[in-house]
Structure 1
Amino acid sequence: MDNSVIKAPISGTITKVEYEAGEQASAAKPAVYMLGENNYEIEVDVSEADIAKIKINDPAAITLDAFGESEAVGQRIKIKKHTFEVIGVMKERGTVAFQDYDDQILLPIKTMQKLIAGVNHLGLIRAKVDDENNIQRAINDVEITLRERHDITDMSGASDDFTVRSAAEALDVITTVTDALRYFLAAMAALSLLVGGIGIMNIMLVSVTERTREIGLRKAVG
């Protein structure tokens, strides 16, 4: 359950617990961030009129952005029993390559490592180069820096415990996979055409063979 996101399968008004604001559930918006079993907590305000409708273990439809973009700043949320204050809301960026950039929560890196992840290392770093002509130079600088930090003396790269890739290299990988799929589909289409053609030829040959005597008789009669 770690690092998974539950999203509403369809769009519609939340009806599990009636809410006066009439918040909308959208298929593109996350419902609950799962931070490990029993490690997440959500607090909501329920009116006295709705308390009687709620029972223990009842399913609930919940959205973390219920307070809206304009009222989010200053609100508090709990992640792994730690309270955080919302200090800002980013503009909508949409989805790119199946990744929704609007369902992310940004935390100070040291706070995230200590309180949430419980680690002291990074799994991914993204860097932006000021000029595309300096990409290779930046890659070399990053590799040298990481080798120094990881106490790697082999500068050939054979002992590296990390990978540095540029966006162009990632695009090349995607292009290679796409080309392979395209060639595979083309080969399948050609094979299907060949098999179909052979089948039609066999049917025509059988038909002619079966009517050989009839054809000879018709030729003899004229």
Structure 2
Amino acid sequence: MSELMRDSEVTEALDHRHWRVVLGRIRGTFRTGSFTRALELTQRVAAVAEQMDHHPDVDLRYGSVHLSCVSHDVGGLTARDVALASAVSAVVDELGVEAAPTASQALEIAIDALDIPAVLPFWRAVLGYVDEPSPAEGALPALADPAGRGAAVWFQQMDEPRPQRNRIHLDVSVPHDVAEQRVAAALAAGGHLVSDTRAPAFWVLADSEGNEACVCTWQAREG
């Protein structure tokens, strides 16, 4: 079993032309320009992954491929993930594929609840989700799409009712080097800042009617 690495360590070790750490995974988006080229890249990545016995998640679309990797057995990032990313970078360079490292993001839905055990089964059933596999130690309860496509849902403990405030919000995790730009774009689009006391871990924003979303990064979370 490999030793877990901190997000900052992984970020330092990655090829920044290709990869970013977003929501506990190494993620990269590659613009291939055609489905055939996207399939070629996917096949080459699959061959490398088989050789290394460590496999990324692959999202193949027309003209692009999105890759993400994590060490599921330990619930986090390890040297295996960094090595796989490095090997894929070599393939990307060989094929001359364009990378868009800052295009990666991950979406979560956060539900504030007074009685998490009471509400969690409803959301599990209505979404057809399952309990988050291999949760990190001390992590809050969460649900995941068994197909690996939909946004994760996690539950935040409330201490008392909040009838004047929405209790479901979106967490948008982005590369650390585009977070402030994303926040600025949201504010320019009519939103307002609710709180930046935990930035750069997250900024709490809201639309003109008070519906909230957080822009999140890995920064200021370690330790």
Q: TM-score w.r.t. structure 2 length?
A: 0.24
Q: Which has the larger radius of gyration?
A: 1
Bigger helix share: 1
TM-score (norm 1): 0.25
Q: Which of the pair is proportionally richer in strand?
A: 2
